[in-house]
Amino acid sequence: MSDQNFRQSTMTPKYRAGPKDDLIWHGLDSMTLLFHRPSGITHMLADPAPALLEVMDSTLLTAGEIATRLQARFDVEPGADTDDIISARLEELAALGLIAREAG
């Protein structure tokens, strides 16, 4: 994670998912495979990345709003840095082009 990403994340960027049809999911025993049609790239995802993609849609949301959706659907491991982790994961997914990011 570069300094720049942290700097950007303080400007409350918003994120949204691409079309659901862009993604082909396949569960393995310990991880989740994701084939991303627009890039032709296969990604292997560990928690909580698949859950993030699951709760997102075409609505632009802040990391905080996504965290709320996540907590509504999952028992999120309690911890003070949950929001930071979600921001970091969203930046990671955005850098791979799996979700869209717009500066706040």
Partner 1 sequence: MTDQIPSEPSANAASNQGIVTRRRALMMGAITASAVVSIKPALAQTAGSVLNCEIPVPGNNAAGGYIAADGSVVSADTPGAFPPAGRNFSGEEVRQAMNGRTLPGTSYDQSEAYVNYIRRLQAGQSGFTCYASLQMPR
Partner 2 sequence: MAEMHQIRLQIGPAAFRIASAWRQPLDQLAALYRDYPAPSDHMVDFTVRLEPDKPWRRYIRPSVHIGGDFWLPDAAPLPLAQGLLAAEMGMNLQMALGWRRHLLLHASSVEKDGRALIMTGLSGSGKSTLSAMLAQKGWRFMGDEFALLNLDTGDIAPFPRLISLKNQAIRAMQTVAPADRFGPEMTDTPKGDIRHLVPPKAAIDRMGEPARPALLLFPRFGHDPELRDMGQAEIFVRLTQASTNYVALGEAGFRALTRFVDQVPTRAMDYQSIEQAEELIESLWSPSP
Partner 3 sequence: MISDAHILVRALREPASVERLDGGQWSELISIARAESLIGSLAHRLADVPVPDRVRAVLQDAIGAHDLARQQALWEADCARRALAGYPGKIVLMKGTAYVAANLAAGVGRSIGDLDIMVARDDLPIVESALLDAGWEWVKPDPYDDRYYRDHMHELPPLIHRERDRMIDVHHTILPLTAGPTPDAQAILDSAIALGNGLYVMAPTDMVLHSIAHLFADGDLAGGLRNLWDINLLLRHFSEADEEFWTELDVRAKTHGLGREKERALRLAARLYDTPVYRFSAGQTEFADYLYIRRLLARDGYGRETRKLIRFAFYVRSHWLRMPPLMLARHLWTKWRKGGKPVG
List contacts with partner 3 (CB under 8 A).
Answer: 2, 4, 38-41, 95, 97, 103
Note whether 54 binds partner 1 by CB under 8 A.
yes
The CA distance from 87 to 92, in Å, is 9
Q: By CB under 8 A, which span of 29-37, 54-62, 65-73, 78-86 interacts with partner 2?
A: 29-37
- Annotate 53-64 with b (16+ C-beta within 10 A) or e (fewer): bbbbeeeebebe
Stretch that binds partner 1, among 8-16, 29-37, 58-66 (CB under 8 A): 29-37
* Binds partner 2 (CB under 8 A): choice among 1, 12, 20, 24: 24
Both tokens of 89, joined, read 């994961």
Count CB neighbours of 95 within 10 A.
13
